[in-house]
Amino acid sequence: MASTNIYLNFNGNCREAFAFYQSVFGGEFDFLGTFGEMPPQENYPTPESDRDLIMHISLPIGKDTILMGSDTGSGFPKVTFGNNFSVYVNTDSKAEADLIFLELSAGGKVNMPIEDTFWGSYFGALEDKFGVNWMVSFDLNPQ
């Protein structure tokens, strides 16, 4: 079976965003590489201004999910953040949901406070300080 992970792109603040996500979720980066660490590309030289930008980073979250990301280099279009996706985090307890929601919403905007819902979840939605949408949930009626 194929697996799905989340890949986020940033305009130069990927390192800061992933340090923040690591502070929320814990764990260690599986990989962190900069554009300056890439082997030289004959047709695509790395501009000096891009050398410290993140080429790829990955942070395991939970049992089966890896949050991945990169910066866009100067040769690529700038990232436009929108509301067309959310990162959905399903937790093991209300306490864990509360903690993750509180930490992710710091400096961001709560779109729906975390609370018991009519569909049987303890759920909340927010936009973090980097413009990324998150949904945090705990299943009140596990199957």
Q: How far apart are CA 142 and CA 135, in angstroms?
A: 18
User: Tell me: the pLDDT tens digits for 32-91?
Assistant: 999 988 887 767 778 888 899 999 999 999 888 999 999 988 877 888 877 778 899 999
Residue 27 above 60 pLDDT? yes
Q: Structural domain boundaries of the chain?
A: 6-71, 87-139
Answer for the pair 88, 73: CB distance below 8 angstroms, yes or no: no
Domain 6-71, CATH: 3.10.180.10
User: Tell me: the pLDDT tens digits for 89-130?
Assistant: 999 999 999 999 999 999 999 999 999 998 899 999 999 999
Q: Which helix (H) or strand (E) holds 104?
A: helix 94-105
Q: How far apart are CA 33 and CA 37, in angstroms?
A: 6
Q: Hey, what amino acid is at 26?
A: G
The CA dihedral of 21, 132, 17, 5, to the nearest 10 degrees, is 60
Assigned CATH class of 87-139: alpha beta
* Sheet containing 133-139, strands listed edge to edge, beginning at the edge strand earlier in sequence: 87-90, 133-139, 121-127, 109-116
Confidence of residue 1 (pLDDT cuts 50, 70, 90): low
